[in-house]
A and B are shown apart, each in its own frame.
Chain A
Amino acid sequence: MILAVSVVTDFFQAVLQGVPPGTVYALVAIGFVLTYKTSGVFNFAFGAQAFASMVLFHKAADEWGWGTVPAAILSVLIFAPLLGFLLEWAVFRHLRTAPPLSTLVVSLGLTVAIPSLVTILLDFSPKSGSSPHGVVPDGRTVRYDPFGVYPFSRDELVATIVAIVAVLGLAALFRFTPVGLMMKAVVESPRMTELNGISADRVSAGAWALSSFFAGLAGVLIAPRFTTFSANEYFNIMVIAIAAAAVGKLVSLPWAFGGGLGLGVVIALVSTFLPRWTDEFAWLKPVQENVLPSIPFVVLFGVIVFVPGLRKAIGSSDPLAGVDPPRQNVASVITSAGWMFLALKAVLLLGAVAVVYTQADRTWTLLVTQAVAMGIIFLSITIITGLAGQISLCQGAFAAIGAFAVYQLGEVRGMSVLVAVVIGGAIAAAVAAALSLTLRQLTGIWVAIATLAFAFFFDAVLVKQSWIGGDSLARSRIPRPVIGTIDFQDDSNFLLLAVIVLAVCALGVYLFSRGTTGRKLRALGGSEIAARSVGISPSRARVAAFALSGFLAAVGGGMLVIGQGSVNYGTSFVPFLALFWLIVVVTFGVRQPSGAIVAAAFFILFESVFLKGEIFGWILRGEDNIPSFFPLAPDWRYILFGLGTIQYARHPEGVLAMSAAKRRARSERRAADKVVVDSAAELGTPA
């Protein structure tokens, strides 16, 4: 009897303990659903917007001495809605008819750019010992215990109350008010709304301001839950909140609220009742270590894969969708650069490598080698996104599989590291293929979210397994390979080997894209219905693309760590960084191998060459001539590339192809003008 009472008490206590973190998830999930309902945009940048408001709040309250209330007014009531207006006016208004994948890429770019921009503009950096505080006086220290079981702090109570009020208020807004109806109408059909005399732009701007205000509010209210001021924490919470939002199929505010609370409570219950391992029950350790951190991502993955109603996108039933001529689906166009142009690119690349091989010091050799290895990884994005039209956000996990395979097989077990690279590639290919099979019913953004869930699962659970990440990577000294009498311990020799591997992989990508599977994928990209009608199986083609993509990422990851001599998962393969990879490749051109290679060069070399001002030193012949405002903060890399994704929706072919197309258009215009002039001259008439 006593035991039963104790269990009930523990249960009740765990439920209450789950409410504060659950409220955090609920607040973010509500905001996410709000943005999706009112704009149709799957806004990954919601967390970044929340972070921006939080940073401004703390700068104003703590450093500028404004006090809590004025700081909250500034960050939540003024800055946040203005940010929403700006995003709508400058970015998302022009993407209203863009494919969902395009807006997803843009939102990813903003996810990366906004925190870096805010950090630089406000001169903000986290400080150990200083953790975020809330808007309520004595919010952390004053507590209330309404049930006599577990006290809540003021901050937590306020956040919970706000979440409840928000969900009720917003639900009422959408259900009972004209404003809410207009917001939903604009998302479903802007043209239809305009035909009814309602300004879609104005409604959309208001919707973005509202959702951005909510982002600011959430950012400030949830800040006390975090131990540090970190944009990554906000992004991680976003991913968990998507799981909560998915419970409500991304459109139901009450269900998103319930999903968030439920997630917090479930985690607390599992944490309370999962048996603790002891020396006597050591087998419990892996269970305990892995169950808890995996819960949000398993829930997210499971909801996406197994809830069919989730995949119907808002806006897909627009009766006036056919008014504009359809955009040419770029995936259906096979662009051929011509053998001469390809040969020229190859010569340029070989020339650059020759210069580095003969002239560069160790630092630059190391940098270029990293760029080459990243080029191999980025080729995986060319396959999965450029060719197959899927956005995979777990390429970092595949690359890490390759890296860990090299460590486990090459260093720990003494196998040839190059064989370990191939084995790692095969393992990643198998994992990617298996993942693709589970996602075969999904398309578009759902593939992206599911792969993101996998990436976080890999990060939270798999990396720390001793048979994957290893027990002590700090001690790793990954050997360089030896082929015959050539010892690649020499950095320059290893660079050559990496270039050869890159060339082989690039050729493989080129051949794959022009082979049967590649053509099938293009056909699917052009029109899936038409492709199916001629017997092309989308799932088979996509599984092949995923497998090859996983293989390439792993090979690149393996080559990267061999070059570096150690595995640095935290700085090389984490999910947030892998987002940035996609952004960089998309910017330069995701459909051609050259886009991936140039993207890798920029990704690695941008900071050294541009942000540190080295290029000025080369041009002005001397490091002393570098302007004094250099070096610029590394964050500028994220800002420039992040904002660069905004052009993706208009030019999904990327910067390189866009430049090439413009050059071709200019040449054609010149040729046409010449014809006109010549004709006029012949006829003796003015041109």
Chain B
Amino acid sequence: MPAIRSGRSTVFRLLALLAAMAMLFSACGNSDDGDDASPTTAATDNGDEGDEGAAGGAEIGSAVIGEGPHGEFESIEGVPGVTDEEIHVALLSTGDANPIGYCLLQCQADGIQAYFDWRNAQGGIHGRQLVLDVIDDEFANNQLRAAEIIDGGEHFAVIGSPIMGTGFIDLTDAGVPVFASAVQSDMANGVNNMYTPVGTVCITCPAKRNIWPVKDSGASKVGILGFGIAQASKDCVAGQKASFDKWGGPQGIEAVYVNDDLPYGLPNGVGPEVSAMKRAGVDFIMTCLDQNSVKTIEEELSRQDMGDVPLVLPNAYGDEEYLTQNAELLEGDYIGLMYRPLEANQAGTDLEALVEQMSAAGSAINDWAIISWINADQLFRGLLAAGPQFDQQKVVDSINSFTATTSGGLTHAIDWTRQHNAITPDDLVTNAPAQECFAYVQVQDGKAVLMGDADKPHFCWDPADEDWKEPVPTSFAAE
């Protein structure tokens, strides 16, 4: 029988081992110690090494791109995802495994494919066809799929907005151009080869656009709702509150109820929360929630005779089924858009092509599809500006030279020489676009109805202006 060691000496041995490990590891450092704390970037400074390919880059960013052919063919070797016939682009997003049930993967694929089909019909780019490879990260495997993309060397760029973009950092570190959405702004901040449709956004910063729908509805007391478990939702609430704190007073608007701690799924209902809003006199509600939760809130508002209180809806644009089935509940609600609405005049913009291509494919034209179309357009313009001997770095340098790109009149002008860095709550100007623009539609009889001028649908504000003023109706369509 083996000798039984004293239990105390075993514990001391373990403690000693721990202490030894701690001393050993305290002699160690971390990789990249001494470097500054900002995220590493894979791209060089804008345009310094890409002058050849970036010739005419800035102009291409804002130009109206005609029927084609686009660019010139020259044989290229050693560029990931590029053959003499094709340029492969990966869509990396979340399919059916996403717990919220959003149409992410399919809807984003529809938007990108529609754009690629359009350009391919015009002859493609640099003599090559654009090919989309759809990759589902199955919610939890984004980093793994990103590693496969990097290892495989078969994709030139990545477009997509998944639920958890854990692999996007690896992709950008590997020099892959990545086109995501405002949801990934935190990740994109300061990263020179990661793009979003309207520049890197600061979610916690005050924004003038938040004041407009409240003023339009004649309301004065705002409630703001968000989830406690999701940092993005809490950040959204913080940004909206900051907007009313900064600009609400002179407009007679005040945030009287702020709740960024709702449990996800609303298992306890929202009866007490709505009652509290009722007691506070809330007559307008801003939400940082998903569509289904908003529906639950609308039902509770209706139950407590607050059914007329308008809300700002999330992500519902283009979801005709949702708007129609819940027409009564959503009557009078607003939907804010960072791009030109479909309900505006489409002449002089690529909206016409978007609608035509997506309708021909039988695809639903919704928020994610439009965002993805814009991303695909940015990539295309970068390829065009980079010239026939393009590679990933040259495309990045080209896009980073665009000072006023609007994706064919769909968005306000984005200056990629500045807008890789987001504005901050203390500095709303330096990295802001020339104009902060937003469009609004309102739900009326189950349909989205444009607010404002159909020819100038963007409501724009001057970021340098300290005060809130009525927005300037603007269009970014070609003259």
Contact = CB atoms under 8 A, between A and B. Distances in A.
A317 interface: no
Interface in A625-672: 634
A153 B303 contact: yes
A298 B315 CA distance: 36
B267 A21 contact: yes
A438 interface: no
B18 interface: yes
Interface in B13-53: 14, 17-18, 21-22, 24-33, 39-40
B4 interface: yes
A481 interface: yes
Contacts of B263: 292-293, 460
Which of B150, B275, B304 has most A Cβ within 10 Å?
B275
Which of B166, B265, B267 has most A Cβ within 10 Å?
B267
B321 A414 contact: no
B275 A564 contact: no
B120 interface: no
A226 to B, nearest CB: 6
Which of B25, B232, B263, B322 has most A Cβ within 10 Å?
B25
Contacts of A225: 267, 269
Contact of A479 (B30, B96, B187): B30
B22 A419 contact: yes
A564 B6 CA distance: 40
A227 B296 CA distance: 7
A228 B292 contact: yes
A130 interface: yes
A512 to B, nearest CB: 8
Nearest to B184: A474
A488 interface: yes
Given A416-B28, A634-B97, A227 B265 contact: yes
A515 B343 CA distance: 75
A564 B166 contact: yes
Contact of B96 (A125, A151, A484): A125
Nearest to B296: A227
Contacts of B308: none
A154 to B, nearest CB: 12
Nearest to A494: B31
Interface stretch (A78-86, A185-193, A194-202, A361-369): A361-369
Given A131-B296, A289-B228, A482 B101 contact: no
B29 A21 contact: no
A125 B271 contact: no
A264 interface: yes
Contacts of A226: 265, 267
Nearest to B303: A151
A471 B203 CA distance: 13
Nearest to A608: B144
Given A418-B25, A472-B186, A480 B272 contact: no
Interface of B: 2, 4-7, 10-11, 14, 17-18, 21-22, 24-33, 39-40, 96-97, 99-103, 138-141, 143-144, 147-148, 150-151, 164-166, 169-170, 184, 186-187, 189, 228-229, 231-232, 235, 257, 259, 261, 263, 265-269, 271-273, 275-276, 279, 290-293, 295-296, 299, 303-304, 315-316, 319, 321-322, 325
Given A237-B267, A634-B97, A367 B272 contact: no
A464 interface: yes
Nearest to A486: B28
Contacts of A607: 141
B268 A571 contact: no
Given A472-B186, A482-B29, A150 B271 contact: yes
A487 B28 CA distance: 10
Given A363-B151, A416-B28, A480-B30, A130 B267 contact: no
Interface string A448-471: 000000000000100110000001
A128 B7 contact: no
B228 A414 contact: no
Given A268-B272, A272-B272, A474-B186, A634 B138 contact: yes
A59 interface: no
Contact of A236 (B4, B18, B259, B267): B267
B276 A272 contact: yes
A524 interface: no
Contacts of B189: 475
18 contacts: A17-B275, A20-B271, A129-B101, A225-B267, A227-B292, A228-B101, A228-B292, A230-B99, A268-B271, A363-B151, A417-B30, A422-B22, A464-B229, A484-B27, A511-B10, A516-B4, A571-B139, A634-B138
Which of B30, B151, B303 has most A Cβ within 10 Å?
B30
Given A228-B100, A422-B18, A481 B29 contact: yes
B10 A516 contact: yes
B18 A426 contact: yes
Interface in A126-153: 126-131, 140, 143, 150-151, 153
Given A225-B267, A421-B25, A464-B229, 7 more contacts: A128-B315, A227-B266, A230-B99, A363-B148, A477-B40, A482-B31, A483-B27
A62 B242 CA distance: 43
B151 to A, nearest CB: 4
Contacts of A508: 14, 17
B472 to A, nearest CB: 32
B272 A488 contact: no
4 smallest beta-carbon distances between A and B, as pairs: A17-B271, A126-B101, A418-B25, A129-B322
Which of A289, A366, A421, A463 has most B Cβ within 10 Å?
A366
Contact of B272 (A140, A271, A472): A271
A516 B151 contact: no
A596 interface: no
Nearest to B138: A634
Contact of A419 (B5, B25, B101, B276): B25
A331 interface: no
Contact of A422 (B21, B140, B148, B290): B21
